[in-house]
Amino acid sequence: MLSQPVTPFIVELTRSASRETTVLDVLVGVFVVVVGLVALILAGGCLVAGGLVIWRKLRPYVPASGATGDGPTRLGIDASSR
């Protein structure tokens, strides 16, 4: 049978080095995450919209087969119709 050690094993409990998390800390963290997501979504939307505008300007207008009219003026949305 094993014998127990003669010297006792002492554990000293100390206070944690980290500070407590408050409600304000959580709210600030949530606010930062939400603002970051909104900024990323807006930046992505602007990039996609800019890409579509550039793609539209670079691509020549080709009417669909069987379409009549001359593009945007067919709908009456050109500047001269005002």
Summarised one tens digit per residue, pLDDT across range 27-67 is: 999 999 999 999 999 999 999 999 999 988 888 776 666 56
65 occurs within a structural domain: no
Cβ count within 10 A of residue 50 = 10
Residue 38 and residue 28 in contact, taking contact as beta carbons nearer than 8 Å: no
33 in a domain, yes or no? yes
- Predicted pLDDT of residue 20: 85
In a domain, 15, yes or no: no
Nearest alpha carbon to residue 25 among 35, 17, 15, 33: 33
Burial 12-33 (b: 16+ CB within 10 A, else e): eeeeeeeeeeeeeeeeeeeeee
Q: Does residue 56 fall inside a structural domain?
A: yes
Q: How many domains does the chain have?
A: 1
Residue 72 has pLDDT above 60, yes or no: no
Residue 22 placed within a domain: no
Q: Which residue has the higher pLDDT, 75 or 59?
A: 59
The answer to the question of residue 32 being in a domain is: yes
- The pLDDT of residue 23 is above 90: yes
Mean pLDDT of all residues in 53-82: 67
Residue 70 lies in a domain: no
In total, the chain counts a number of residues equal to: 82
- Is 51 a domain residue? yes
- Give the residue numbers spanning the domain of 53: 27-60
